[in-house]
Amino acid sequence: MVRCVAVIGAGVGGLASIKCCLDEGLEPTCFERSEDIGGLWRYTDSTDSRRVSVYPLLITNTSKEMSCFSDFPFPEDFPNFLPHNLLLEYYRMYARHFDLLRYIRFKTTAVSVRKRPDFTTSGQWEVVTETDGVQESHVFDAVMVCTGHYQEPYLPLASFPGIDTRFKGQYLHSQEYKDPEAFRGKRVLVVGIGNTGGDLAVQLSRMAAKVFLSARSSTWVFSRVSDHGFPFDMVETTRFNHLVESLLPSALMKRIMFRRVNSRFNHANYGLASTKSSNVKKILNEELPFCLLCGTVVLKPKVKEFTESSALFDDGTTEENIDVVLFATGYVFSFSFLEESVRSQFYDNRSLYKRVFPPQLEKTTLAIIGLIQLTGSVMVGSEMQARWVTGIFAGWNKLPPTSRMMADVLKKKPLVKRNPSERENLKMSFISYTDEIASCAGVKPNVLRLLLTDPRLALAVFFGPCTPYQYRLMGRGKWSGARDAILTQWQRTLKPLRTRVVDDSSDGSCSWRWMYLLALPAALLVGFLLSKYPRQGSSPRAGLQL
């Protein structure tokens, strides 16, 4: 019987885990090595390699309605995409509202997490912590590791001959980037075109003499502002779109996606991607195309090698007088505090059952929270993981036998290891993964049932954005405010924009009513087809749940 739970880390996953433990009647103790909550979202100008934080001008890529805690909406006057200081304030509000801070021991580092000698029967862990140089040993019934995957900078110097032997300029990882002013007047090469690399190239273009952006993979550049000015993720991440994507051939979906993204600007003209590109990366960046258009950022292929002051590229070109090389090459995770016998069971999250549980442990009392990459908010996925895990620890939910967990892991495990820069291409679908964990936790929304009992809500759930509130409509942890939160989500989206009143005679509510009326027969038809012909590998009951 699990009672006392150690939570390692007081970032987003840690806060959600503490709250979920309390919801299930468990007794959490959270160990946070810094002096405050927020994890990487708490900005610090420290360059300590052990402390990873956001860079100063970062803005979230997921909107507030798509990345909130499922029973705690953002304040309606908060902007849709948030700077890190506002996001951290929201986390403080959450911690205060649910009285989480008293369960956190700050400035306390988890030194080691080891199985107790009687682990095979008790499932207990010995956790050694250190505070102000003094170590202390604790015994816990279960452990939730909430340190995420931004743990240690990945700096693959061996892949760039000459960078640490011949190159006379400065090189650093994006984790060390704090002040753009330090790059004023310099010629900077940014290596890596993920979201971070694109952001830093744009920021530096306002200070540096010239910025070069090296990309080895093809990239689609999306905007956070979608049609009619709505947040991109709220428009795109819907259950209806997800269903259509699952039914259409992947080649056709790729062609449709490429045509849509090219409607903004032709990616081939910019050297970003073409219709023949494979393994295309997707990033969100409104300003990068303009910077490329006006020449403040110049796109380059993969770096071949460095000389004393130059970078040579795979296409044979050379850029002279490079002052700084900034590596936006991602992060690795090590979980060095876990004992080797446990750590060796997974080299990445695909070795974990449902990306959470090491499947070969004698007792499943260790859970890894937040070690996921999704096409949507990782925070929402982490909270869902915590709800599922604490239900298992509390005893009302169960895991399948080890053989079934291993079979599931092997089915989803890649054939080869990937480095961090390639993992971006292996992001899991936000709806697919969150629904999968929600099904395990018994809280996945049943659209057909809603269609019979609350048609208006059902249509908002199916055709509207898949906001976290949907996972509080039914099952354990049901929230009475979930329905209202879903039906008012667009109001909270528009609220911070309406700071100046203009005369708009169009009646948008009428058009929405007509859309719902037209969508009703379509939803009924889709529900009938799914119930009659469930997708292969699903049970008839699973086919009824969208």
How many structural domains are present in the chain? 2
**What is the reported pLDDT for 506?**
58
Q: How confident is the model at residue 538 (pLDDT cuts 50, 70, 90)?
A: very low
Task: List Cβ neighbours of 175 (8 Å cut-off, separation of 6 or more).
Answer: 49, 52, 153, 331
Average pLDDT over residues 435-452: 97
**What is the reported pLDDT for 48?**
66
| SS3 assignment, position 301 | coil
The CATH code of the domain that includes 275 is 3.50.50.60
Q: What is the pLDDT of residues 140-186, one digit of tens each?
A: 999 999 998 888 899 999 999 999 999 999 999 999 998 889 999 99
pLDDT at 415 over 80: no
- Of 408, 432, 456, the residue at which a domain comes to its end is 432
Do 314 and 167 share a structural domain?
A: yes
| SS3 assignment, position 460 | helix
Comparing 54-58, 100-104, 220-224, 309-313, which segment has the lowest mean pLDDT?
54-58
- Of 432, 450, 485, the residue at which a domain comes to its end is 432
Q: Which domain holds residue 277?
A: 154-223+266-329
- Of 410, 432, 454, the residue at which a domain comes to its end is 432
Selection from 91, 310, 59 nearest residue 195 by Cα: 59
Do 303 and 206 share a structural domain?
A: yes
Q: How far apart are CA 359 and CA 5, in angstroms?
A: 19
Do 142 and 66 share a structural domain?
A: yes
Task: List Cβ neighbours of 422 (8 Å cut-off, separation of 6 or more).
Answer: none
Do 276 and 187 share a structural domain?
A: yes
* 418/369: higher pLDDT: 369
Do 143 and 76 share a structural domain?
A: yes
pLDDT at 108 over 90: yes
Do 308 and 159 share a structural domain?
A: yes
pLDDT at 78 over 80: yes
Q: Is residue 140 part of a domain?
A: yes
| Residue 327 tokens, joined | 């590596």
Q: Is residue 478 part of a domain?
A: no
Q: How confident is the model at residue 517 (pLDDT cuts 50, 70, 90)?
A: low
**What is the reported pLDDT for 426?**
54
**What is the reported pLDDT for 546?**
37
Do 96 and 84 share a structural domain?
A: yes
Q: How far apart are CA 100 and CA 94, in angstroms?
A: 8
Do 116 and 64 share a structural domain?
A: yes
Percent of the chain with pLDDT over 70: 89
- Helix 378-394 vs helix 12-23: crossing angle, to nearest 10: 30
**What is the reported pLDDT for 515?**
55
Do 219 and 196 share a structural domain?
A: yes
Whole-prediction pTM: 0.91
**What is the reported pLDDT for 529?**
55
**What is the reported pLDDT for 419?**
56
Q: Which long-range contacts (CB under 8 A, 24 or more apart) does 88-97 make?
A: 88/38, 88/41, 88/42, 88/43, 91/12, 91/15, 91/37, 91/38, 91/41, 92/37, 92/38, 94/15, 94/19, 94/69, 95/15, 95/37, 97/72
**What is the reported pLDDT for 504?**
75
Percent of the chain with pLDDT over 90: 77
Q: What is the pLDDT of residues 245-275, one digit of tens each?
A: 999 998 888 888 888 899 999 999 999 998 7
Contact in structure between 388 and 439 (CB atoms under 8 Å): no
Place of tokens 């970003």: 272
Average pLDDT over residues 229-237: 96
Q: Is residue 539 part of a domain?
A: no
Q: Is residue 525 part of a domain?
A: no
What DSSP designation does 106 have? T
Average pLDDT, the chain: 90
- The number of beta carbons lying within 10 Å of the beta carbon of residue 275 is 11
